[in-house]
Amino acid sequence: MARSTREAILTAAAELMRHKGYGAVGMKDIAAASGAPIGSLYHHFPGGKVQIARAALINAGAAYALLIPAVVDDHTDLGQALHAVFAQAAQEAEVAAVVNMSQISARRDATSNAAQQHWIAERLLDRAPVAVTHLRPTFFAEWLLYFGSSIAERSVLRLPFGHGRHAPIAAEDQAHVIAAILEDPGPHAGQIYPLFGPVEDDHHGIVAEVARTLGRPVRYEPIEIDKFRNRMIQSRNAAPHIVQHIENVAVDYRQGKFAGTNDIVERIGRTTPTTVAAFMDKRRAKFDSAPN
């Protein structure tokens, strides 16, 4: 049976985006690959490329939902079944290596549901028939952006982390590590790498560095976990799973599970890790609003 125009569009879009990436694919590319006129693309998907990409992802998920039972049913051992599923997916997607972004609090007995699920995902990916490397970063330096309005408008950062410590790591430094691993995945297969920034400090010290960079007073105010939880729910309308994660991660943080430093960014990523001062200086405009 001939494919419908809609199916042809989704198939073409999925293949193009898989090989070239979402940003590099335009509507004209999809029209040429699918054989459908531009008008047909907008007839079926008035929302344009965004709607096409969303539908293509849904289609892919539905296809794998049908594939998994067919593959698993051939095995009586769950481990072998998982290996077969990953092998099929890797073959179809032409994947030779995976870098899994986990988190430093991932462990079997984690009280955060998200952290425990990260640990489970690591163990599942360990079954994959390709080179898998797990990265466990501490808190990103980008956390400062998440609370940027409080720093910009009120010159204060209120968090439930007490006097715990960590070495903030910038996302761009992690990207260097990821790229280096994917260039030569073999030596990193099966490894779990904790990732840290260059300087470990508590939030008093981190915020003091923020203040020095901005050239004006900024202070850190520790608050209790339950108070922070209530603020997340009331002022940010945070989803329950995020609230559950943050309140349990705050306990981990206070207990030192986010602390540490190492040389992985320099040794593997071949770049100098970004300090808090350098991170803030590059993003100064986001924090320069006059305080109320």
In the chain, the percentage of residues whose pLDDT exceeds 90 is 71
Name the percent of the chain lying above pLDDT 70. Answer: 93
Q: What is the pTM of this model?
A: 0.76
Residues 41-89 have pLDDT tens digits of: 999 999 999 999 989 888 877 766 666 676 667 777 766 777 777 777 7
pLDDT of residue 20: 85
pLDDT at 70 (0 to 100): 67
DSSP secondary structure letters along 91-113 = HHHT--EEEEE--TT--TT-SSH
Average pLDDT, the chain: 90
In whole angstroms, how far apart are CA 22 and each of 15, 26, 91, 184? 10, 8, 21, 24
Q: What is the pLDDT of residue 291?
A: 45
Q: Which domains does the chain have, with CATH numbers?
A: 1-73 (1.10.357.10), 97-287 (3.40.50.720)
| Digit-coded pLDDT (tens) for 94-133 | 888 999 999 999 999 999 999 999 999 999 889 888 899 9
Separation of alpha carbons 227 and 86, rounded Å: 43
Q: Exposed, middle or buried, 263 (CB in 10 Å: 0-12/13-18/19+)?
A: exposed
What backbone torsions phi and psi does residue 25 show, to the nearest 5 degrees? -105, 130
- C-beta pairs of 225-228 under 8 Å, 24+ apart in sequence: 225/160, 225/250, 225/251, 227/160, 228/158, 228/159, 228/160
Q: Return d(Cα 149, Cα 236) in angstroms, integer.
A: 13
DSSP state of 137: E
pLDDT in tens, 195-236: 999 999 999 999 999 999 999 999 999 999 999 999 888 877
* Over residues 13-22, mean pLDDT: 87
For residue 74, the model assigns a pLDDT of 74
Q: What is the DSSP string of 156-225?
A: EEEES-TT-EE--B-HHHHHHHHHHHHHS-GGGTT-EEEE--S--EEHHHHHHHHHHHHTS--EEEE--H
Residue 155, beta-bridge partner list: none
Q: What does the DSSP 8-state code read for residue 55?
A: H
